[in-house]
Structure 1
Amino acid sequence: MAPSAQPTSSQPNTPSKRKKKPDPFLDLANTPIPSAVSSPDEAQKDFDRSESTIKKVILTPLLFTSFIISLFFVQRRDRAYRYNEHPPLTTSWWLRFSPSQWLNPEPYQDPDDSTWHKASAGTADGGDGSISGIDGQVEMTRRNGKNQWFTRKKHRKMAKLHFTDAFELQGKTIVAIETVNNDVVVPLAMSQSAQTGSLAECGVLKPRGRMAQEVVKLAFDGQDHPLISHGIPFAQACARHVEQNFKASRVYILASGTLARTTNVVRTLQQALDGKVVGVRYGMTPHTLWSECIEVTKDAKEVDVDLIVTLGGGSLIDAAKIVSLALANNATDFPSILNLTNNRDPSVPRPDLASPTVPIVSIPTSLSGGEYSDHAGGTNDETHHKHGFGHAGAPLGPKLVILDPELVKTTPQRFWLSSGVRAIDHCVETICSPFCTPAAARCASSGLRQLVSGLLRSKADPDDTEARLQCQLGVVDAMAGCKAGAPLGASHGIGHQLGPLGVGHGETSCILLPAVCAFNLGHAAEGTAGTEKGQEHSVEPLIDIPAKQHIVLNVLWGVDIIAQLFDKHGLRQGETPLADCLDVIFRALGLPRRLADFGIGGEEQLNKLAENSLQDRWCVTSAVPLKSKEMVREILDACGPKTG
């Protein structure tokens, strides 16, 4: 007998749960966009490193915007394809291309006006028993009131395809955005920004677009000139003010020969002025020879200039002032140029001379500070004597000074540093002047702090733009001290005559200032100011020279970078004299300190130099007035034959 079949136990008939697969699309928002890296180690470092400010401010908006634009193009492309395959029932040529239709729902998303539901087998009415629409999607949605699971899945797949296509298109979109920005937006912004505001009304101009902010302000309180501008490139600033404020159309440029030979900045300025340049002079001899000023005057007169622009150092600025005065007085030879000089006293009015009518814009590449002065110095080629120009009631200085710390990186390092020492000389001789007021001392002290620390930083790092701008603004404070009424001293007076012998403006101060400070301290009992008849400063105040020099020392020791330099060389605060402190600073800057460095030292040459110096007004107004050739020789002899 066959065994009976054993009953089999059956599992409960429960529906099996399908394990839900993770959908990578849902994690898309939390997945970082990968970027190319050069090595796995760098990738790990980049992963651990926090996002930089540049990435947050510039790269993130760019990536987001380019992705949205790419996604829009992908969607438009796919819509055009679907529209062509399933056009709406109410179609016409105008409606198809009308902008009002661009944002309409997708054709297949509007069941009341679409042929999408006719794409299934059978008729739209379901005559063959089928449900209208693709897979009955339209009707099932209406019946159930919600999308089915497969509908949502298809939507996710379609979105993933769109996103993938958008990421592939994103690189080309970024290139297109940058091309449009560089070729259209930035030039348009520059064009518009050139039309913003009037110079007389603005303290700060805010250019449009992504450009930097221009600062325009008066250099000195209580004076209507010069204005100073900084914050934007020099060529852009110059073009704006030439067009909007000076209304000039015939511009003559006095440009540094070195800049013209070694850089393209002169050409950049010419291009920015856009056809307004009628003449260019490349280079001037240091200390501004009369013969060259006459040449420029004749050229400028021939082309009828209405604005002079200087791009370079102090000699060019002095030349522009002399040329402007010469143009107003038709001075084109040595006798007529001599008649323009101020005979050592700029305070005396000259009603016989016409005031300059051609304004000057200065773009300095040095720190000599001549652009802030209403006086000029020019050298007679025949006598090698340097004369002063400028008189009461007829200011010669520029109307606008444009500062650009990026531009001055093109200035040779030795010239940049030595011209900065010239500005230091302004500060020291202002503070030590017997006529220095408290206001002048404050300005000069501020300039001294900025200049010495900025120069030391510039020496250590020539690309330190912040230090260079600090030096440029320090010159403004230095000149504010000079313009407060305190005359300068023997370092400037002798330096004016040393220049024609081949020593640069700033290098005269490197050599003379420590020696003059030592001379003044050694002759402190003689510290009275000029008594010559007719001089602006004709009183004889008693002066405490050690106390004056102590003020300068306190300023220097109060700046960390300067105090560290002094400590390094074994100087002691309160003990080391000012002359030795200045010597350490100038040597740290790598600048020449002796007359012998320039081949100057013969007895006959030094005696002639001493005689010429006595004719300079600032030798008379020095803390210890120089009244004899022997006193000048004592200073020159201290500058020694020694080198190093």
Structure 2
Amino acid sequence: MIKVGLHQYPPMDQVIFGKPAGQALAEEAERLNAHRVFLIASHTLNTKTDEIEKIRKALGSRYAGTFDGVPQHTTRTSAVAAAARAVGAGADLIVAVGGGSVVDAAKIVLMCIEHKITDEGGLDGFEVVSTPEGPRPGPFRAPRVRMIAIPSTLSGGEYNAGSLVTDTRRKLKQIFHHPLMMPRSIILDPAITVHTPQNLWLGSGTRAMDHGIEAVCSPRGNPLVESVCLRGLRYLYDGLLATKMNPDDLEARQSCQLGSWLSAFGLQCRVPMGASHAIGHVLGGTCDVPHYFCTAVMMPSVLEFNRPDTAGAQDKLAEAWGVPGAKASETFAEFIRQLELPRRLSEVGVTEDKFDLIGRNAMLSVFTRANPRPIKGPEDIVKILRMAA
């Protein structure tokens, strides 16, 4: 048991569930006295479903505009374009409706608005930097315009104040952070998620589990984070298997959403993540692997690598998944097999000739330094990659 530590409560007002998204958002806009609500939405939700139109109608005269051009892995270019549209619309509240890339875009848009950043180079110098003393955030001012998130996937990025943005000039995904990039409110509506492709839904659910697993294994966790994350991991384990069997099961979908919320509790309270996050960010930004497949292919190997330093925590993971006494790495690998997601790096197009580059880039991550088993250099990252090959 961790005997010394602390717990940070995030600057977020509330999580709302059990109401249609449009109704909940209209009530929030009124509560916050927002008159120009700008939507940053999933392109698919905006063009192939009526979900965004329902939200626009619910907002009525408070609706200010929509941007739906955010690509996978949230690029600086798209964030700057969205910010320009929001400024032009006179936005006083930003709302992200979609998956993790959309949520990350909305967060960084707040800072582009605040600092009048109009080109991708304007974000240089604001990224989080890894130092021997710990992560050093960039010099952002507190944003005057805040955001609300309505997630359509389970990746859980809405529950923390960081944003992952890809610099396409260098093919490098970077972290940006300010406490008030945290959404003021998060609205959970399982009805919106039925439009999410099955592999994205299931894969993003495993990404949410990554938050919980790495928080439970972190030496900088605490009893509250451990208890909440273990419960969230159970919600996700059961809920993902249920939605795999029946994608129309809204109750199971809501269980997954609750699981994503609870599993993100550690990251939300700034318990640092570890090697799975570090490697996953590089796989996405450098190798173009979909974010929602990274945990599926990497987590069993990361768990195996970390087991000498996290055996007790991993035993609790296996117990939470209903298999006490089993190895967490093997249990998670079997779970991925049942979900029919990719299980090896070779299945997502990552070959051994890229391992050295991934290793070097992963060493730039603040999460590499926080891994529970010390990672001494790129060769340790390569060792994990070979286990996952």
TM above 0.5, yes or no, is: yes
After TM superposition, the structure 1 = structure 2 runs for residues 258-407 of structure 1, keeping only pairs within 5 Å, are 258-344=44-130, 348=136, 352-391=139-178, 394-407=179-192
CA distance in 2, matches of 1:323, 1:485: 22
Query: Alignment partner of 2:65: what SS?
Result: strand
- Other-structure match for 1:638: 387
Q: Give the conservation status (yes or no) of the 8 Å contact 2:45–2:52.
A: yes
Query: Alignment partner of 2:39: what SS?
Result: strand
Q: Give the conservation status (yes or no) of the 8 Å contact 2:278–2:365.
A: yes
Query: Alignment partner of 1:423: what SS?
Result: helix
Query: Alignment partner of 2:193: what SS?
Result: helix
- Other-structure match for 1:61: none
- Other-structure match for 1:489: 274
- Other-structure match for 1:217: none
Tell me whether 1:238 sits opposite 2:3 in the alignment.
no
CA distance in 2, matches of 1:489, 1:317: 22
1:366 is aligned with what amino acid? Answer: T
Displacement over 6 Å in runs of 4+ = none
Tell me whether 1:606 sits opposite 2:355 in the alignment.
yes
CA distance in 2, matches of 1:226, 1:384: 35
- Cα deviation digits, residues 367-415 of structure 1 (max 9, x gap): 1111110111111011111111114xx4211111111112211211111
Tell me whether 1:430 sits opposite 2:180 in the alignment.
no
Query: Alignment partner of 1:339: what SS?
Result: coil
Which of residues 336, 339, 343 is equivalent to 1:593? 343
CA distance in 1, matches of 2:162, 2:80: 18
Tell me whether 1:464 sits opposite 2:249 in the alignment.
yes
CA distance in 2, matches of 1:355, 1:248: 18
Which of residues 39, 45, 58 is equivalent to 1:253? 39
Once the 2 structures are TM-superposed, how far is the Cα of residue 485 of structure 1 from its aligned partner? 4.5
CA distance in 1, matches of 2:363, 2:8: 34
Tell me whether 1:619 sits opposite 2:368 in the alignment.
yes
CA distance in 1, matches of 2:237, 2:344: 21
CA distance in 1, matches of 2:327, 2:230: 18
2:358 is aligned with what amino acid? Answer: L
CA distance in 2, matches of 1:425, 1:349: 23
Once the 2 structures are TM-superposed, how far is the Cα of residue 555 of structure 1 from its aligned partner? 1.4
1:588 is aligned with what amino acid? Answer: Q
Once the 2 structures are TM-superposed, how far is the Cα of residue 505 of structure 1 from its aligned partner? 2.0
Query: Alignment partner of 1:249: what SS?
Result: coil
- Cα deviation digits, residues 447-482 of structure 1 (max 9, x gap): 111111111111111121111111111122112233
Higher relative contact order (CA 8 A, sep 6+): 2
Q: Give the conservation status (yes or no) of the 8 Å contact 2:69–2:78.
A: no
CA distance in 1, matches of 2:345, 2:8: 39
Q: Give the conservation status (yes or no) of the 8 Å contact 2:235–2:259.
A: yes
- Cα deviation digits, residues 248-287 of structure 1 (max 9, x gap): 2222111111222321111111122214333211141111
Q: 1:401 to 1:477 in 2, by over 3 A?
A: same
Which of residues 546, 551, 558 is equivalent to 2:311? 546
- Other-structure match for 1:452: 237
Tell me whether 1:583 sits opposite 2:370 in the alignment.
no
Q: Give the conservation status (yes or no) of the 8 Å contact 1:375–1:395.
A: no
- Other-structure match for 2:4: none
Structure 1: gaps spanning 5 or more residues:
1-219, 528-544, 558-562, 564-572
CA distance in 1, matches of 2:168, 2:94: 24
Query: Alignment partner of 1:608: what SS?
Result: helix
After TM superposition, the structure 1 = structure 2 runs for residues 495-574 of structure 1, keeping only pairs within 5 Å, are 495-500=280-285, 501-521=287-307, 524=308, 527=309, 545-557=310-322, 563=323, 573-574=324-325
2:36 is aligned with what amino acid? Answer: R
Once the 2 structures are TM-superposed, how far is the Cα of residue 518 of structure 1 from its aligned partner? 1.1
- Other-structure match for 1:418: 203
After TM superposition, the structure 1 = structure 2 runs for residues 123-162 of structure 1, keeping only pairs within 5 Å, are none
- Cα deviation digits, residues 539-560 of structure 1 (max 9, x gap): xxxxxx2222111111112xxx
Query: Alignment partner of 2:264: what SS?
Result: helix
- Cα deviation digits, residues 106-127 of structure 1 (max 9, x gap): xxxxxxxxxxxxxxxxxxxxxx
CA distance in 1, matches of 2:96, 2:336: 28
Once the 2 structures are TM-superposed, how far is the Cα of residue 588 of structure 1 from its aligned partner? 0.6
From the two aligned structures, give the one with the greater strand fraction. 2
Query: Alignment partner of 1:274: what SS?
Result: helix
1:477 is aligned with what amino acid? Answer: L
1:365 is aligned with what amino acid? Answer: S
1:505 is aligned with what amino acid? Answer: H
Which of residues 439, 447, 450 is equivalent to 2:224? 439
Q: Give the conservation status (yes or no) of the 8 Å contact 1:493–1:618.
A: yes
- Cα deviation digits, residues 16-67 of structure 1 (max 9, x gap): xxxxxxxxxxxxxxxxxxxxxxxxxxxxxxxxxxxxxxxxxxxxxxxxxxxx
The sequence identity of aligned pairs, in percent, is 32
CA distance in 2, matches of 1:349, 1:395: 13
1:355 is aligned with what amino acid? Answer: A
Q: Give the conservation status (yes or no) of the 8 Å contact 1:258–1:283.
A: no
Once the 2 structures are TM-superposed, how far is the Cα of residue 347 of structure 1 from its aligned partner? 6.0
Once the 2 structures are TM-superposed, how far is the Cα of residue 602 of structure 1 from its aligned partner? 4.4
Number of equivalenced pairs: 380
Q: 1:239 to 1:413 in 2, by over 3 A?
A: same
Query: Alignment partner of 2:19: what SS?
Result: coil
